[in-house]
């Protein structure tokens, strides 16, 4: 472990209440932290200010404490404006960004998509010399390179981010920082050396590695992508799909031990649900994962 990057992070978005998928993700984070000797940071990723709510932020802390999780540090993205502006200036000085006025409709109509249905932005605005400002997004000039990285659970991957996503946005047209930019800047500044997250974010890795390098990070973090809990229809649990919230389950009278046991059973760590403490749950995940 690099002593300059001693943290991993659990990083929920406060756009709804936590659900069981978040609990599983937290167990993976804490199991990996214990296995590899990292400290845990709670990061509130409220870059989407149009959907973030204070009530959800408060509930994240309360629900995690109710389950028995603790953390050594905490941060919230909405307080990092100076950080993001500073890193954006680094990229501008290197001529690695440009302003973009493409609407969502135009972008979808004029660019191909990858196998995941994500737009591969072809750089329509790169040479237009648009000014940075209102109604203009900011895009990164994604290098055309193959990136190889090792997932601690899934093995080796090689991907060209230019081919997979094209020039991705760092700031959107309404002035909000994007997930891709904010997490890379935060991981660099906050000493995050291990990124643990769901498999649905695996294809963010190559672009985040090249962006981190452009920002001045000498070595990328380690990565571990974990499986997700699915609903009865095979779709991942999500706030958008109205997955049952931990807050709601608490109000119905479930104990934290019962909930943790049911999550571990659903994830296949135990054959059937039984009450478990948070520490026992973390050990189960660690022993099965590593």
pLDDT tens-digit series, residues 28-49: 999 999 999 999 999 999 999 9
Q: What is the mean pLDDT of residues 3-22?
A: 96
Categorize the per-residue pLDDT at 144 as very low, low, confident or very high, splitting at 50, 70 and 90: very high
Is residue 130 a part of any domain in this protein? yes
Q: Indicate whether 241 pLDDT > 50.
A: no
Q: How many separate domains does the chain show? A: 1
pLDDT tens-digit series, residues 198-210: 999 999 999 999 9
d(CA 227, CA 174): 33
Is residue 2 a part of any domain in this protein? no
Is residue 279 a part of any domain in this protein? yes
Q: Indicate whether 216 pLDDT > 70.
A: yes
Q: Which ranges of the chain does DSSP label H, i.e. alpha helix?
A: 20-36, 54-67, 81-93, 104-110, 161-164, 179-189, 205-215, 246-251, 256-266, 278-289
Q: Which two tokens stand for residue 233?
A: 């229809």
3-state secondary structure of 223: strand
d(CA 207, CA 87): 16
What number of helices (H) and strands (E) belong to the chain?
10, 10
Is residue 136 a part of any domain in this protein? yes
**E strand or H helix that includes residue 140:** strand 137-140
CATH of the domain at 155: 3.40.50.620
Q: What is the mean pLDDT of residues 261-271?
A: 96
Q: What is the pTM for the complete model shown?
A: 0.94
Is residue 11 a part of any domain in this protein? yes
Q: Indicate whether 99 pLDDT > 80.
A: yes
3-state secondary structure of 91: helix
Residue 200: the pLDDT is 93
Is residue 1 a part of any domain in this protein? no
pLDDT tens-digit series, residues 151-191: 999 999 999 999 999 999 999 999 999 999 999 999 999 99
Q: Which two tokens stand for residue 81?
A: 């404006």
260: domain range?
7-289
pLDDT averaged over every residue in the chain: 94
Is residue 248 a part of any domain in this protein? yes
- Rounded to the nearest 5 percent, the helix, strand and coil shares of the chain are 40, 20, 40
Residue 1: the pLDDT is 79
Q: What is the mean pLDDT of residues 100-118?
A: 94
């Amino acid at each position: 472990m690099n002593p300059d990057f001693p943290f991993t992070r659990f990083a929920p978005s406060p756009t709804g209440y936590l659900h069981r998928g978040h609990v599983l993700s937290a167990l993976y984070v804490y199991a990996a932290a214990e296995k590899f000797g990292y400290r845990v940071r709670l990061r509130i990723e409220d870059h989407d200010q149009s959907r973030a709510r204070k009530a959800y932020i408060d509930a994240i802390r309360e629900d995690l404490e109710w389950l028995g999780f603790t953390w050594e540090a905490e941060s919230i993205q909405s307080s990092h404006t100076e950080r993001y502006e500073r890193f954006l200036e680094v990229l501008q000085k290197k001529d690695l960004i440009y302003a973009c006025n493409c609407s969502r409709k135009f972008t979808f109509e004029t660019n191909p998509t990858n196998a995941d249905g994500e737009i591969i932005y072809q750089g329509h605005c790169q040479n237009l010399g648009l000014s940075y400002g209102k109604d203009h997004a900011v895009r990164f000039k994604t290098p055309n390179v193959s990136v190889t990285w090792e997932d601690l659970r899934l093995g080796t991957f090689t991907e060209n981010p230019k081919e997979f996503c094209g020039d991705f946005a760092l700031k959107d047209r309404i002035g909000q920082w994007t997930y891709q930019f904010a997490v890379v800047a935060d991981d660099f500044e906050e000493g995050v050396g291990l990124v643990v997250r769901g498999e649905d974010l695996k294809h963010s890795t190559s672009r985040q590695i090249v962006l981190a390098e452009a920002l001045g990070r000498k070595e990328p973090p380690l990565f571990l992508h974990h499986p997700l809990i699915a609903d009865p229809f095979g779709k991942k649990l999500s706030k958008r799909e109205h997955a049952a919230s931990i807050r709601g389950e608490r109000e119905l009278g479930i104990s934290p031990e019962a909930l943790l046991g049911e999550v571990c059973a659903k994830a296949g760590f135990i054959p059937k649900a039984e009450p478990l403490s948070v520490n026992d749950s973390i050990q189960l995940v660690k022993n099965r994962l590593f």
